[in-house]
Structure 1
Amino acid sequence: MAWSVFFVGHMADLRAHFRDLEDALLLAAFGLGPLAEKLRGARSSGDAGALTYNGRPTGPGWTNAQRLAEVTGIPRETVRRKLVGFRRRGWVEQDEDRSWRIAVLPDGRAPLAADMKAANAQFVARLARLMAEFKRIEAAAPGEAEAPGR
């Protein structure tokens, strides 16, 4: 039950922030490559700070509308239309070869990260509550953890 409460709440938060869950899904797909690289770095160094987006992302991080459509299941034309909207917001940039990546300013900041700051804080708070609930359930007597409403 704790997971369901977390998941539904998080999805509602994303819908409220983006007004369109496809936008959230598409932006999450952008993070798969760079995030996977950051996760490898954090695991090898043991430093969770390697997962932050302070500064220019490492690696190319470029993708295309077709690949994003394949990963998300969103039709390619819809992906392209959304990418153009993201570009207008300053969140993504397009290369001459028509590939896309998260936009990064010369000082290394990503406008998307700044625009997502409140939503990310909300997510972290919700995740902390979930983890606390998991710890409470783990510490409870075996029969108590299965009680309705938990």
Structure 2
Amino acid sequence: MTTQKPGTSALDSRVAGLVEGFGRDYPTYQYAFVNFLVDHLSDLSRSYGGDFQQILILAIIGQRRMNLRRRVDMADLPGPEAMAISASRLADVTGIPRETVRRKLESLRQKGWVVQGPDGGWSLAEDPDGRDLPVRRDHAEFDQRARLRIARLVAMLETFGRAPED
């Protein structure tokens, strides 16, 4: 068991302990992770017709919202413009050419998943009633499969390193 060192967060301490544990039987953990990753990427590929660039762009836009959501009460969540990201910044972050990013954003806009603000930044589109995001609603089945995959991965990882039950 790893104890928390002075000056480190509980998360840092937990990560250090996990890295130590993974080091003892890395091939087992690597197998579980790669199995999860291949299943998840295959599902994404089928869902998006193999367009991983579109997946990546949408994920980055969504992560901006999710990062703020983790830190702010939903009632205080800023408007879409505060969570927006420019096409140029998306191109810089992903390495995808700017014109390709613009085409992918237009495709996502046509699906009703993203909107472009007056300043040119892009954010997730919201339903007028504010109860759901169109992208979340349209990904409900995919998200259900993803939750199951993640739960299987966590359950599998939790069993590694334990003594077999009699």
Give TM-score, length-normalised by structure 2. 0.71
Q: State the match for 1:39 in structure 2.
A: 70
The Cα of 1:136 is off from its aligned counterpart by: 1.5
Q: Determine if contact 1:92/1:102 at 8 Å carries over to the other structure.
A: yes
The Cα of 1:4 is off from its aligned counterpart by: 0.7
The Cα of 1:57 is off from its aligned counterpart by: 8.7
Cα distance in 1 for partners of 2:109, 2:76 equals 18
In the TM superposition, what are the counterparts of 1:5-16 in structure 2 within 5 Å?
5-16=35-46
The Cα of 1:97 is off from its aligned counterpart by: 2.4
Q: Which has the higher contact order (CA 8 A, sep 6+)?
A: 1
The Cα of 1:125 is off from its aligned counterpart by: 0.2
1:124 aligns with 2:147: yes
Q: State the match for 2:22 in structure 1.
A: none
Q: Determine if contact 1:56/1:104 at 8 Å carries over to the other structure.
A: no
Deviations 1:74-104 (A, max 9, x none): 1111110011111111111112222211111
In the TM superposition, what are the counterparts of 1:50-61 in structure 2 within 5 Å?
58-59=77-78, 60-61=82-83
* Structural RMSD (CA): 1.9
| Unaligned 5+ runs, structure 2 | 1-30
Q: State the match for 2:158 in structure 1.
A: 135
Describe the SS at the equivalent of 2:115: strand
Cα distance in 2 for partners of 1:101, 1:36 equals 13
Aligned length: 129
Q: State the match for 1:24 in structure 2.
A: 55
In the TM superposition, what are the counterparts of 1:69-148 in structure 2 within 5 Å?
69-108=91-130, 109-140=132-163
Between the two proteins, what is the percent identity of the paired residues?
37
| Unaligned 5+ runs, structure 1 | 42-49, 142-150
Cα distance in 2 for partners of 1:75, 1:56 equals 36
Q: Determine if contact 1:6/1:127 at 8 Å carries over to the other structure.
A: yes
